[in-house]
Structure 1
């Protein structure tokens, strides 16, 4: 079973009634818009059978950089809306306290440890001195 097929892992095709967390968080890369909405409020507004992908599209419609915005001229290299849902394809709850997440393995070890004191270097002697 691949990671995308896990039953608790939300994707764009996940219906709102099957979303595992209480808060749905939306953000935009370009205009820095964002918002958090409760699951019950979204279900009352859009219905429980709307997909998460459709909710992201609804969030993008309000963006000034949305590609289907009629006030915006099409540009070849222009910015487009970067709206996304932060919690899609995330295996752990977004509000889990750091103490409950468990230990994490940090790569590296003794060979990558920084020295505590700088290494001594050999000083050059001056020509003609007795030192």
Structure 2
């Protein structure tokens, strides 16, 4: 089956779109779209119409190198013996799309640690990174939050604390934050136990290396 080019060729009764750069997502009934935009509308033009309010949607301009563009796209259901909304063949039962296999999750899969457990491991701050968009690129603005001013109870889990912060980036105004505990530098602590100063220095400075007792 060739790829659909117009709305009339769309094989499902629901048209689902998503953006690869932002959390934007939508589901539309095929009949409603055909009634509003016409069944002969090209699928590419329909995407431009749906994302007309996006600042990165520039259909009339030629894309330049390394320039971010709107990532809106159609979500195609998984391939199966029949399309998801196609009628069953005569005398044959309806076949649903195959379900994805359950894959084993890697890494820690237990409950989130509490604030008391983080403090016991020497964590006194959080490291926050902004994943919002600023001038067409990812912001990546970072900051450090101390746990003491937050006044979080010891029995609160780390995930509950992250949901209750509701942080807003001061550069791009985004709310998509990545929060991780700021783990202490074990290497610096171990070097300090031997009397060695291993803190990073500015380029051009020289730190004399002396073993303890010399």
Q: TM-score, normalised by structure 2?
A: 0.34
Q: 1:77 aligns with which of 36, 55, 66?
A: 66
1:103 CA drift (Å): 8.3
What is the alpha-carbon distance in structure 1 between the residues aligned to residue 99 and residue 25 of structure 2?
30
**Greater RCO (Cα-Cα under 8 Å, separation 6 or more):** 1
Deviation track 1:28-53 (CA, whole Å, cap 9, x = no partner) reads 11122111100111011101111222
> What is the SS of the residue equivalent to 1:61?
coil
**Matches for 1:1-131 after TM superposition, within 5 Å:** 6=1, 9-11=2-4, 13=5, 15-68=6-59, 77-87=66-76, 91-92=79-80, 93=83, 100-102=96-98
Which structure dedicates a bigger proportion of its chain to strand? 2
What is the alpha-carbon distance in structure 1 between the residues aligned to residue 45 and residue 24 of structure 2?
18
Contact kept, 8 Å, 1:27 with 1:83, in 2: the verdict is: yes
Segments of structure 2 that go 5 or more residues without pairing to the other structure are 86-94, 102-214
1:55 CA drift (Å): 1.2
Segments of structure 1 that go 5 or more residues without pairing to the other structure are 1-5, 106-131
CA RMSD of aligned residues (A): 3.5
> What is the SS of the residue equivalent to 2:16?
strand
Poorly superposed stretches of 4+, deviation over 6 Å:
none
Question: Would you say how many aligned residue pairs link Structure 1 and Structure 2?
Answer: 90
What is the alpha-carbon distance in structure 1 between the residues aligned to residue 21 and residue 98 of structure 2?
33
